[in-house]
């Protein structure tokens, strides 16, 4: 690393702290040659994730595509953009952990369906109809029956993530 002012490569680290995101380190540095101080941020460079499409071609994973597919499925539903963005990030992180550098599209679809099933069942059915390539009304009816059976077993499952996220009185203190 070189000083941004004079180019000197003999720098002194004055202070190191974890970044606010918990994924980086902020370092305060000083150049002994020109006395300029500046901050650097270090973070782990994650390996790129490639998607293996159904036809065998490969392309870069794009979190924005995951977000957009969920946004379309959640159209006119009470799901916030922030929820969808956080969900897309969670899906990407899950796929990064599960797969080294290549992930089949079917795994992305499964991950999206799993997340949507806990967020909004209508959006889940909408997404499933495209992902699973429904061709008949019977396909929709079968999916709706499955969702209804699951909701009867656990009617509050769509609230579980929200309940976990609410801090208790002790945590607020």
pLDDT at position 172 is 42
- Mean pLDDT, the chain, rounded, equals 88
Q: Mean of the pLDDT values across residues 4-28?
A: 91
> What does each C-alpha distance from 108 to 50, 80, 84, 90, 113 come to in angstroms?
11, 21, 15, 12, 9
Q: Mean of the pLDDT values across residues 123-133?
A: 91
Sheet holding 58-60, edge to edge: 58-60, 50-52, 102-104
Q: What is the CA radius of gyration of the chain?
A: 23
Q: In this predicted structure, which of 10-14, 42-46, 106-110, 119-123 has the lowest mean pLDDT? A: 42-46
Q: Which long-range contacts (CB under 8 A, 24 or more apart) does 163-167 make?
A: none
pLDDT digits (tens, 9 = 90+) for 131-173: 888 899 999 899 999 888 888 888 766 554 443 343 444 444 4
Q: Where along the chain do its domains lie? A: 12-43, 50-164
pLDDT digits (tens, 9 = 90+) for 51-85: 999 999 999 999 999 999 999 999 999 999 999 99
Q: What percent of the chain has pLDDT over 90?
A: 71
Q: Residue 135 class from Cβ within 10 Å (0-12 exposed, 13-18 middle, 19+ buried)? A: exposed
Q: In this predicted structure, which of 88-92, 94-98, 120-124, 155-159 has the lowest mean pLDDT? A: 155-159
pLDDT classification of 34: cutoffs 50, 70, 90: very high
pLDDT at position 133 is 86
* Pairwise pLDDT comparison (133 vs 88), residue with the higher score: 88
β partners of residue 17: 26
Tokens of 50: 């490639």
């Amino acid at each position: 690393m070189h000083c941004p002012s004079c180019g000197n490569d003999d720098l002194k680290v004055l202070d190191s702290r974890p970044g606010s995101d918990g994924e980086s380190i902020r370092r305060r540095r000083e150049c002994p040659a020109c006395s300029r101080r500046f901050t650097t941020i270090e973070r782990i460079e994650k390996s790129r994730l490639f998607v293996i499409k159904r036809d065998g071609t490969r392309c870069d994973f794009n979190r924005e595509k995951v977000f957009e597919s969920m946004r379309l499925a959640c159209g006119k539903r009470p799901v916030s953009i922030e929820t969808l963005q956080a969900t897309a990030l969670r899906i990407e992180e899950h796929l990064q952990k599960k797969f080294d550098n290549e992930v089949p599209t079917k795994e992305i679809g499964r991950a999206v369906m799993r997340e949507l099933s806990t967020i909004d069942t209508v959006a889940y059915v909408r997404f499933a109809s495209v992902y699973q390539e429904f061709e008949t009304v019977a396909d929709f009816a079968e999916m709706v029956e499955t969702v209804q059976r699951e909701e009867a077993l656990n009617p509050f499952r769509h609230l579980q993530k929200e309940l976990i996220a609410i801090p208790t009185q002790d945590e607020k203190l």
